[in-house]
C-alpha cells in the first residue's frame, strides 16, 4: 500500500524539517499550483478526488469549498482559512501525529487550500495541551516565511498569505466549527445558529472555511498528483487513505495509515495485534467517543463512511475505542457521559441539564443503587436529548450515541447491575 500522509514519518519520533520535506517532493504541489493551475483548477481537482472531511462529519471537501463566494459575489475584505487542530474527541490522536512529525505537510496543504479559496489569512486553531505540536508548527511557519512559501507575493506570484498558530484554552465544543470561530474571535465558545454558514459569514463576518488537520494534509498530495491517483488509493467507494487508530486493551494500540475501506477485523487483528491475553472483544466505538457501539458481528465491515453508517454508527474520526469482556459497558458509557456533560457550553437546556441528569442515572446504576425504571429514564433521555433538532448543536446527540447503542447491545449488563447479580467489572479509563 502506498503511504501518503505518513510517507515521511518513521517509527521513531523524529521531526521532518524543511530540507527533508523538500527532498521528498515537498512544496512541489504549491509550485505546480502557482505556475500552472488557477484556483478554479485546484477546486475542480479537489472535487473530482471525492475527498471527504477527515474530522468526523465526512462532508465532501470540494463541495464545502464551492459555497465560498467568489469574484463579484464576494464583498471586498479578508477571506479566512482555519485549520481545526483542537483534537478533543475521546480516543482520537491522529492529528497530533501529523503535526508533531511532519508540520510542513499541513502548512503546504493550507497554503494550497487558501490559494484555491482566495483566502489571505490562515489560522491553526490548536488545543493548548499540544505543546510540542505548537512549537514545531511555529518553527515550520517561520521557515516558510524565510523561503517565501508564506508572506507577500509567494514565490513571485500575486498570491499572498499570512499564517498564525492560535493555541486554544481547550474545550470539546470547539470541534464544532462555529464554536471554534467564536473562540477565535475571543468570545465564549458557543455554537452559532446556521444559516448563515461560515462559508459566507464566518470569522468576523467574513467568508471562512474550517477544515480538519488530516483533510488539509491530503490537499497537498491531491493537487500535486491528481484526483484519479487519489481515488485509486481506496479499497471501496471512498477515496484515499485514512489514519485509523485503536485504543483499549489490545496488544498494540496505535495509529496507522491504511486505505479507506480497510476491514475492521484487519485493523484490530493485524495492526493492533488483537485482544490482550484472556480478553475477548465485546464491542467498539468505530470513530471516537461520540459514535455508536458496534460488536463482533460487525468486524468484517469496511471502514468507510456509508458502510459504517448503514450498520447504525458513524466512522467519525476513524479511531476505534475497544470494549473488552472484562470492562463494564455501563462504566465506560458513564465515563463518556461525564466527559460530555463537563464539556457542554451550557447554551441549551437539554445539553446543560440533560447530560448531568443522564450521568446521575448511570452513576446510580453503576454504584448498585439503580432501579429497573432507570432504564426507562435512560431510553427517554436518548429520545429527547439525542433527538436531532432538540438541541442547539450536535454535542448532546453525539453524547447519546454510545448510550443508545449500549442499551441496544448490552442491555443485560444494565439489568444485572440493577438486580445486584454482579459487581461492576473494570471501569474503562479508571484503572480498576
Neighbours of 97 (CB within 10 A): 21
Domains within the chain, CATH numbers bracketed = 18-232 (3.40.50.11540), 241-324 (3.10.20.600), 329-419 (1.20.1440.230)
pTM: 0.93
pLDDT, residue 431, reads: 38
Q: How far apart are CA 246 and CA 284, in angstroms?
A: 10
Q: What is the DSSP string of 87-132?
A: --STT--HHHHHHHH-HHHHHHHHHHHHHHHT--EEEEEEETT-HH
Neighbours of 390 (CB within 10 A): 16
Nearest to 60 by CA among 49, 75, 73, 70: 49
Q: Label residue 318 left, alpha or beta by phi (over 0 means left) and psi (-120 to 50 means alpha).
A: left
Residue 60's beta-bridge partner residues? Answer: 52
Neighbours of 384 (CB within 10 A): 14
Three-class DSSP category at 237? coil
Contact predicate 108/161, CB 8 Å? no
Per-residue pLDDT of the chain (432 residues; tens, 9 = 90+): 789 999 999 767 788 999 999 999 999 999 999 999 999 999 999 999 999 999 888 899 999 999 999 887 888 899 999 999 999 888 888 999 999 999 999 999 999 999 999 999 999 999 989 999 999 999 999 999 999 999 999 999 999 999 999 998 878 888 889 999 999 999 998 899 888 999 999 999 999 999 999 999 999 999 999 999 999 999 988 999 999 999 999 999 999 999 999 999 999 999 999 999 999 999 999 999 999 999 999 999 999 999 999 999 999 999 999 999 999 999 999 999 999 999 888 888 888 999 999 999 999 999 989 999 999 999 999 999 988 888 888 889 999 999 999 999 999 999 999 998 666 665 555 433
Contact predicate 184/167, CB 8 Å? no
Contact predicate 412/325, CB 8 Å? no
Rg, C-alpha atoms of the chain: 22
pLDDT tens-digit map of 272-283? 999 999 999 999
**Three-state secondary structure readout of 242-307:** EEEEEECCECCCEEEEEECCCEHHHHHHHHCCCECCCCCEEEEEECECCCCCECHHHCCCECCHHH
Sheet with 162-168: list strands edge to edge: 162-168, 121-127, 80-85, 208-212
What are the backbone dihedrals phi and psi of residue 330, each rounded to the nearest 5 degrees, phi first?
Answer: -65, -45
Cell 505548537 sits on residue? 134
Residue 138 to residues 147, 220, 328: CA-CA distances in angstroms?
Answer: 14, 19, 43
pLDDT, residue 432, reads: 36
Which cell numbers hold the place of 384? Answer: 429527547
Amino acid at each position: 500500500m502506498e503511504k501518503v500522509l505518513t510517507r515521511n514519518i518513521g517509527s521513531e519520533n523524529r521531526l521532518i524539517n524543511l530540507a527533508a520535506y523538500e527532498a521528498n517532493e515537498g512544496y512541489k504541489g504549491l509550485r505546480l499550483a502557482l505556475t500552472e493551475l488557477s484556483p478554479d483548477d485546484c477546486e475542480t481537482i479537489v472535487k473530482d478526488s471525492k475527498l471527504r472531511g477527515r474530522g468526523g462529519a465526512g462532508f465532501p471537501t470540494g463541495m464545502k469549498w464551492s459555497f465560498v463566494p467568489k469574484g463579484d459575489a464576494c464583498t471586498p475584505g479578508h477571506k479566512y482559512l482555519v485549520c481545526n487542530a483542537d483534537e478533543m474527541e475521546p480516543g482520537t490522536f491522529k492529528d497530533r501525529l501529523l503535526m508533531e512529525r511532519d508540520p510542513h505537510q499541513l502548512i503546504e496543504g493550507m497554503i494550497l487550500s487558501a490559494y484555491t479559496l482566495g483566502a489571505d489569512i490562515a489560522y491553526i486553531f490548536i488545543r493548548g495541551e499540544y505543546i510540542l505540536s505548537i512549537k514545531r508548527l511555529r518553527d515550520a511557519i517561520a521557515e516558510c516565511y524565510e523561503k517565501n512559501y508564506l508572506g507577500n507575493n509567494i514565490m513571485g506570484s500575486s498570491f499572498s498569505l499570512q499564517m498564525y498558530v492560535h493555541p486554544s484554552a481547550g474545550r470539546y465544543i470547539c470541534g464544532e466549527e462555529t464554536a471554534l470561530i467564536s473562540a477565535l474571535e475571543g468570545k465564549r465558545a458557543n455554537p452559532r445558529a446556521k444559516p448563515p454558514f461560515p462559508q459566507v459569514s464566518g470569522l468576523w463576518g467574513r467568508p471562512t472555511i474550517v477544515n480538519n488537520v488530516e483533510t488539509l494534509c491530503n490537499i497537498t498530495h491531491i493537487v500535486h498528483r491528481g484526483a484519479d491517483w487519489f481515488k485509486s488509493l481506496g479499497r471501496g467507494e471512498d477515496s484515499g487513505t485514512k489514519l485509523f487508530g485503536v485504543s483499549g486493551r489490545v496488544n498494540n494500540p496505535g495509529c496507522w495509515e491504511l486505505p479507506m475501506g480497510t476491514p475492521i477485523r484487519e485493523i484490530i487483528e493485524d495492526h493492533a495485534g488483537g485482544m490482550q491475553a484472556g480478553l475477548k472483544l465485546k464491542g467498539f466505538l468505530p470513530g471516537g467517543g461520540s459514535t455508536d457501539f458496534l460488536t463482533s458481528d460487525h468486524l468484517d465491515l469496511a471502514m468507510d463512511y456509508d458502510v459504517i453508517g448503514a450498520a447504525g454508527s458513524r466512522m467519525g474520526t476513524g479511531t476505534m475505542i475497544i470494549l473488552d469482556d472484562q470492562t463494564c459497558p455501563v462504566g465506560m458509557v458513564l465515563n463518556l457521559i461525564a466527559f460530555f456533560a463537563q464539556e457542554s457550553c451550557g447554551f441549551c437546556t437539554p445539553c446543560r441539564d440533560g447530560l448531568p441528569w443522564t450521568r446521575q442515572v448511570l452513576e446510580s446504576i453503576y454504584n448498585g443503587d439503580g432501579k429497573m425504571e432507570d432504564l426507562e429514564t435512560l431510553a427517554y433521555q436518548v429520545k429527547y436529548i439525542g433527538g436531532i433538532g432538540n438541541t442547539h448543536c450536535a454535542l448532546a446527540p453525539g453524547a447519546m450515541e454510545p448510550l443508545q447503542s449500549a442499551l441496544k447491545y448490552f442491555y443485560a449488563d444494565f439489568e444485572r447491575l440493577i438486580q445486584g447479580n454482579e459487581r461492576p467489572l473494570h471501569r474503562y479509563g479508571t484503572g480498576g
